[in-house]
Chains A and B, each alone.
Chain A
Amino acid sequence: MIKVLRSGFYSSIQDLGRQGVMHYGVPQSGAMDRYAARLANMLLGNEETAAVMEITMTGPVLEFETDTYICLSGAEMSPKLNDSIIAVNKPIKVLAGDVLSFGKLQTGFRSYLAVLGGLLTETVLHSRSMYQGITKQVTLFKNDVLPIASSKPLNTMHHANIRPNSTYLTENRLAVFKGPEFGMLSREQQEHLLSFQFSISKTHNRMGYHLKERLEHNLGSIITSPVLPGTVQLTPSGTLIVLMRDCQTTGGYPRILQLSEMAMHTLAQKFTGQTVRFKLL
């Protein structure tokens, strides 16, 4: 078991999300930065679908009630086990009674905590990813107790060949594909879209990242049609919304770009004021 002593800014349980339920209007959800979530699991020899804790901006304080191994990936948040600084992207042995805490946010915005065997919180519609109206909880709270697998030895063979990559955390180019309505933009608008620098507005969360700068245009709405995480929507006011993992399943704004998987990991690590550029693949 893991006991939540403090919850942090926004901590939730995520795995790789829900598949096959979009046609019920259910968002995919899952880790915002899947690369980091997968990496933390792989370094422990977990299944890649094992549930992890997604930690946003400010870390929680967690007390372990069982001996286990953990691994942190993604944003660098100065993690400490009891009083000692610990490394990221490395399996760490934890004993019952140990307390994990976090300090200053160094790089990125979201960190992932994997635990040997995965976090065993409730499964709804084949996933443990927390989402409003699907799981009982949407975020973690003080005094929550999270079930984990009982202690077992770590199979270090799993991570012998893994070379973690951290450059994507500070990258500001987002590799994108043309979206279905990209062709509705004029040549000039397309050029602006692909050459401007866009900054992250105050409105950014698991549903979407709203960008600040506007793209002048005269496009209307489209007939409501499916959207996916990574879809870049152009709103009537000209602001861009990049849909993230908890986004709705359909939308009525033109879909002008689609982020690559790697670009989604990168954007998930950005926060207010930081800038990005779109780079067509």
Chain B
Amino acid sequence: MRFELAYKPYGLHAILVAWPASISETILQDVLAFKQTVLESKVQQVSEVVTAYHSVLVIYESAYSDFNREVALLKAIYASKAPYKALIKTLWRIPVCYEADHAPDLEALAKAKKIAQGTIVKKHSSAVYTVYFIGFLPGFLYLGGLDAQLYMPRKATPALRVEKGSVAIGGEQTGVYPSVSPGGWHVIGNTPIDFFDATKETPCFAQPGDRIVFYPVSLEMYNDIQTLVKGGVYQLESEVLND
């Protein structure tokens, strides 16, 4: 599948490539395939390619001299891209404790939505989420695939402190806070897994296109896993997906 793309200058050091304005798996696959093709074609001077839902920012090491020439190059790369590129995808299983100690907003959310707490947990932990991109905070995954019954507008006043590992719902999205931060999402659980480790050459285990599954664990289990994570010996459950 090929889309009509818009190419826009972004200062003198970057070019923004935009797909039609919608959020979909089809666009995500095309965005990721384009990024991969740009990186593989080793365009001179490209220092980084950043992706989001429906856009790609190509960043150059120094100012390009001719915008139209660079766009022609990117268009040729898009045209040469295989219609479908099988990217290696990983499914990551993330343990989450949804018990009250770690779920400060679960009760209020259940009341507001008129859904039993157990049902919220069940719905949240039975979906397979897609990683669209990483942004907002180092290691914050933008996930798609939240059950529509769990949609909930962000808090009118953001909480000043959301704990590291908080699993939360905001609007039509769910996500994990990789570090302590202010935040307006509703916290329904917490994971002991580190989503960002600045000491590693690859600081995030997950990448765009990967899948995430959350599974409920007891408080005891949470504490055990946390001990293993802190000791650097926890083995995250994952499997490679072929499709």
> Which of these, A134, A223, A226, A230, contacts B50 with CB under 8 Å?
A226
Per the CB 8 Å criterion, the residue count for chain B at the interface is 41
CB of B177 to closest CB in A, whole Å: 11
Question: What is the interface of chain A, defined by CB distance below 8 A to chain B?
Answer: 19-27, 124-125, 132-135, 177-180, 222-226, 228, 230, 248-250, 255, 258-261
Provide the residues of chain A in CB contact with B23, threshold 8 Å: 223
* Residue from A222, A250, A261 in contact with B133 in the complex, judged by beta carbons closer than 8 Å: A250
Interface of B is mostly: loop
Interchain CB contact (< 8 A) of A25 among B47, B54, B56, B138: B138
CB distance from B98 to the nearest CB of A (A): 25
Partner of A258, one of B11, B22, B59: B11
Partner of A24, one of B14, B56, B204: B204
Distance of A21 Cα from B196 Cα, bound (Å): 12
A125-B203, A134-B138 are known contacts. Are A20 and B133 too (CB-CB below 8 A)?
Answer: no
Cβ contact within 8 Å between B203 and A248: no
Interface of chain A: mostly helix, strand, loop or mixed: loop
Minimal beta-carbon separation of A218 from chain B (angstroms): 17
Could you list which residues of chain B lie within 8 angstroms of chain A, going by C-beta atoms? 8-14, 16, 18, 21-23, 47-57, 59, 133-140, 142, 178-179, 196, 198-199, 203-204, 208
Complex interface: chain B residues within 8 A of A230 (CB): 11
B167 to chain A, nearest CB (A): 17
Contact of B11 among A124, A135, A223, A228 (CB under 8 A): A228
Take A25-B140, A250-B135 as given contacts and tell me if A223 and B21 are in contact as well, using a CB distance cutoff of 8 Å. Answer: yes
Q: In the bound complex, how far is the Cα of B135 from the Cα of A164, in angstroms?
A: 37
Complex contact A20–B47 (CB within 8 A): yes
Say whether B198 contacts A125, CB under 8 Å.
Answer: yes
Q: In the assembly, what is the distance between CA of A177 and CA of B14, in Å?
A: 12
Q: Which of A21, A23, A178, A180 has the most CB of B within 10 A?
A: A23
